[in-house]
Amino acid sequence: MKTILAFVGGGDRDQVILQTALAAAIPLAAHLDFLHLHVPATQAARYSNTEFASGAALRNAFQRLGTDAHAFSELAAENVREFCASAKIAMCDAPANVQAVTASFREEQSNALERLTFHARHSDLIVMGRARQKQGLAPDTLEHLVLNCGRPILVAASAAPQALTDTIMVCWKESSNAARAVTAATPLLAKAKRVVFVSVAEQDDGVTDALDDLARQFAWNGVAAEVRVVPASRRGIPVALSATAEECSADLVVMGAYGRSRAREFIFGSCTEAFLGGSDRPMLLMH
């Protein structure tokens, strides 16, 4: 895990995203590829309140969106420059063969979501904020990336973390997406001071044996792990996991994302989205 793509929008959430990306990069000596998408007014209008505007009002709305897009671009570049200077991170166009964090900045001018997905697929890890997008992208951009880029997504919390590898909590169930999440997170797990594998016991399904076996597998790689089986809560699995993350003081939570079909999640709700809404901690998601 040597290339980390961090999406910066040019807004008030940039500092948290920048710091979260750095917290992931430090233990890995990774390269930070900061990306900003300049969303044209014609694209941003799809997700703004312009559907009922016409005539002069519509022209003014497009002009405002264009002005905002330029302001977002300038602020994103400025935020990255100032952050790298403050953190003493060397800026370079390509990853250098040094054991230190380096960084680069790029801006895409068109086909915003397509280009974001492209760069995500070519990175080892993607860092984004969890709030709905305000800079002209589709509100469900985070969900789109989780489902379509094939790479792990590190979702920032509301506050900047000091570290991500003091305590990592892994949410486990016998599913392919949980297994992929563990595999994706292994470089960070190998650097962690404390790893806790957690599973919610919905029934007597041998979950303790599964966690013990998982811990043994990681012990072969020099990673000592604790295991916890959490009783099912009437308030649901996300609440039980959120409470456990609080008890563990987890710096990072790892979990498989969107395990059920999208149709079933539309009807019954998504555990992933419920956890995102109920736990304000950095999360590494993998579909």
pLDDT digits (tens, 9 = 90+) for 103-112: 999 998 877 7
Prediction pTM value: 0.87
| CA separation for the pair 107, 86 (Å, rounded) | 21
| CA separation for the pair 164, 27 (Å, rounded) | 9
Confidence of residue 238 (pLDDT cuts 50, 70, 90): confident
- Whether residue 117 contacts residue 37, with contact meaning beta carbons closer than 8 Å, is answered with no
For residue 35, the model assigns a pLDDT of: 94
In the chain, CATH 3.40.50.620 sits at 3-155, 167-286
Query: Is the per-residue pLDDT at 42 higher than 80?
Result: no
For residue 78, the model assigns a pLDDT of: 95
Q: Say if strands 153-155 and 283-286 run parallel, antiparallel, or are unpaired.
A: antiparallel
Who has greater pLDDT, 87 or 136?
87
For residue 265, the model assigns a pLDDT of: 46
For residue 135, the model assigns a pLDDT of: 65
The DSSP code for 82 is: H
| CA separation for the pair 5, 3 (Å, rounded) | 7
For residue 240, the model assigns a pLDDT of: 86
Query: Is the per-residue pLDDT at 131 higher than 70?
Result: no
Structure confidence by residue, pLDDT tens digits, 43-102: 666 666 655 555 666 567 667 767 777 888 899 999 999 999 999 999 987 766 668 899
3-state secondary structure of 217: helix
Top CATH class of 3-155 equals alpha beta
Query: Is the per-residue pLDDT at 152 higher than 80?
Result: yes
CATH code for 167-286? 3.40.50.620
3-state secondary structure of 252: strand
- Whether residue 82 contacts residue 21, with contact meaning beta carbons closer than 8 Å, is answered with no
Query: Is the per-residue pLDDT at 221 higher than 70?
Result: yes
Mean pLDDT of the chain: 84
- Report, as an integer, the average pLDDT of 168-183: 91
Query: Is the per-residue pLDDT at 198 higher than 60?
Result: yes
Who has greater pLDDT, 10 or 278?
10
**CA angle in degrees (0–180, nearest 5) for 41-117-122:** 135
Residues above pLDDT 90, as percent of the chain: 47
What is the separation, in whole angstroms, between the first and last Cα of the chain? Answer: 17
Region of poorest pLDDT, from 2-11, 120-129, 232-241: 232-241
3-state secondary structure of 108: strand
- Other CB atoms within a 10 A radius of the CB of residue 28 amount to 19
| CA separation for the pair 37, 261 (Å, rounded) | 30
For residue 263, the model assigns a pLDDT of: 41
Region of poorest pLDDT, from 22-31, 208-217, 265-274: 265-274
> What residues does 90 pair with on adjacent strands?
102
For residue 277, the model assigns a pLDDT of: 72
